[in-house]
Chains A and B, each alone.
Chain A
Amino acid sequence: MASEAHASEGATGYIVHHLTPLSIGEGFWTLHLDTLFFSALLGGLFIWFFKVAAEKATVGVPGLMQNFAEMLVEFVDTQVKDSFHGKSNLIAPLALTVFCWVFLMNFMDLFPVDLMPNIGSVMGVEYLRVVPTTDLNATFAMSISVFILIIFYSIKIKGGWGFAKELMFQPFGPWLLPFNLLLKLVEEIAKPISLALRLFGNLYAGELIFILIALLPWYVQPFLSFPWAVFHILIITLQAFIFMVLTIVYLSMAHEDH
């Protein structure tokens, strides 16, 4: 389905075009407008849906919308209760937001790869990458926010000294302090990095495969893109679920006092 304009640049040009975000600015001061726009749009969709459901929430027989919202709330609540044993007003809503937002952003992957870029090019937008989770900035933004919460709760629950002690004296006791510190720091820093890279890697690879399929002759495409899309339904849900569960697990670890 490569459009004429891109065909002239060849397969590489087509792929690169699809993976280039719409951006303004130079160097670090670059903003990926498409990532910001679509993530905000999907976040707004999520908020709107749940806000309407919450406003209409009744104790009696729930409507279709409330039922769906409650199903998700109950699902997230079960996950939180399974791994987190403290009391927190933040973790469950955070997990719900993470799950729904990540799922919606991943879901953009299931739209035909050329659909929105072509609409964009008609409207004069040169580059458009519609899946925010294929942008490292989006995944790292979430994982770093979670990381900040991990540090915040570690210090809040264990105290500054308690957290420092945990970093220095575990798991091998005070005689191996530098080693402990190194191990713990790597462990902590690995959390946000693995969270962000896992989601990014899965979605980026998925998107790339959709782009590669789109380069094949049109009569082959359905036989490849349909199974991949079906498989992708599983992947996008699973990745959203994993991100949510790991967020809960990391935060419950931060709450545990050794």
Chain B
Amino acid sequence: MSINLTLIGQMITFTLLVWFTMKYVWPPLFDALEQRKKKIVDGLAAADQGNKQMELAGKKSKEILKDAKSQSAEIINMAQKRASEIVDESRVTAKVEGERLLTSAKSQIEQELQHTREKLSKEVSDLAIKAAEQILQEEIDKTKHQAILKKATAQLGKLK
């Protein structure tokens, strides 16, 4: 067991190993470790934030749902009201229209009646005059009874 040249050889080997480790082994491995550590820290933070945001979104969606429900209820209410209004309105218009139709029909009937009456009275007077003329032609001298005829004509005229 003696110290000899092997010592120098071993020192050279050792130096080479340390140099190689220092240059090519340690930095990439250590960097990878550090970067992964950072990545994990970032990832955890991101996950936390994501959770928070999800919670917020959940709350928000609940609110929106609530709003939508109340809004839809309101809309339905309004629609029902409007529908009943429309029904009422149409009832009123129908009534008015019906009355209007009724009155116009009545006035038309009145007019027709008037017309018919006029026509009828004219026809009656004509007939009466014709009948009277025939009777008078046989019995009465025209000139003699001129006054009476005129009187009668005037009366008939009043009848019109």
Residues of A within 8 A of B (CB): 23, 25, 27-32, 35-36, 39-40, 43, 46-47, 50-51, 53-55, 57-60, 62, 66, 69-70, 73-74, 77, 89-90, 92-94, 96-97, 101, 132, 135-138, 140-142, 144-145
Nearest chain-A residue to B16 (Cβ)?
A43
Residues of B within 8 A of A (CB): 1-11, 13-18, 20-22, 24-33, 35-36, 39
Quick one: which of A89, A137, A144 contacts B4, CB cutoff 8 A? A137
| Min C-beta distance of A41 to chain B, whole Å | 10
Judge whether A66 and B32 touch: CB under 8 Å: yes
A residues in contact with B4, CB < 8 Å: 25, 27-32, 137
User: A59-B35, A137-B9, A138-B6 given. 19 additional CB < 8 A pairs?
Assistant: A28-B5, A31-B5, A32-B6, A43-B17, A46-B17, A47-B20, A54-B24, A57-B29, A66-B29, A70-B33, A89-B22, A93-B26, A96-B21, A97-B21, A132-B10, A136-B2, A141-B8, A141-B9, A145-B14
- 7 A-B residue pairs with Cβ-Cβ distance under 8 Å, sorted by A, are A36-B13, A51-B24, A57-B31, A101-B14, A141-B13, A142-B14, A145-B14
Q: In the bound complex, how far is the Cα of B42 from the Cα of A27, in angstroms?
A: 62
B residues in contact with A93, CB < 8 Å: 18, 21-22, 25-26
Given contact pairs A30-B5, A73-B30, A145 touches B22 in the complex (Cβ within 8 A): no
Judge whether A137 and B21 touch: CB under 8 Å: no
Judge whether A50 and B25 touch: CB under 8 Å: yes
Judge whether A30 and B21 touch: CB under 8 Å: no
Nearest chain-A residue to B33 (Cβ)?
A70
A residues in contact with B33, CB < 8 Å: 70, 73-74, 77
Closest 10 CB pairs of A and B: A141-B10, A137-B6, A93-B22, A93-B26, A57-B32, A30-B4, A54-B28, A32-B6, A93-B21, A50-B25
Nearest chain-A residue to B12 (Cβ)?
A141
B residues in contact with A29, CB < 8 Å: 4-5
B residues in contact with A66, CB < 8 Å: 29, 32
Q: In the bound complex, how far is the Cα of B11 from the Cα of A142, in angstroms?
A: 6
A residues in contact with B31, CB < 8 Å: 57
| Min C-beta distance of B111 to chain A, whole Å | 103
